[in-house]
Structure formats: structure tokens, C-alpha cells
Amino acid sequence: MLDERSREQRVVSIPPQRPIGGAIIDDQGREIPITETMIQRACRELETACIHAGKHA
């Protein structure tokens, strides 16, 4: 039988501007670390684009 502690989930919070393990290469060939803030912004932009596309379908 599992006790309550074995069911707990640990949530690790990463500061929004801390790199999360990926990078993009800019036009000058520089490596730019990808941050959580960048991912959140891209998701919001994608969601907005999908909403607008749905209104024009």
C-alpha cells in the first residue's frame, strides 16, 4: 500500500528568465538561450493567431 508521501508531486519552479536547456541562433550566428518567458510569449502569440484564424474561417 502506498503512503501519502509517495503520491506527492514535486513542482520545480524555474525563474522566467533562466535558460531551460535550448537555444536559437540569431541572424549574426549568436546562440540565444531560450527562456520560459520566450516560450510563454510564443504560446500567447500562437493562441491569438489561432483565434483570429478561426474567426476568418
DSSP string, 8-53: --------TTSEEEEEEE-TTS-EEEEEHHHHHHHHHHHHHHHHHH
Instruction: Give the domain ranges of the chain.
Output: 14-55
- Distance in angstroms between the alpha carbons of the first and the last residue of the chain: 53
- Which pLDDT tens digit goes with each residue over 5-55? 556 667 666 666 666 678 999 999 999 998 888 889 999 999 999 888 877
The whole model's pTM is what? 0.55
Query: DSSP letter at 6?
Result: H
The band of 3, judged by pLDDT with boundaries at 50, 70 and 90, is low
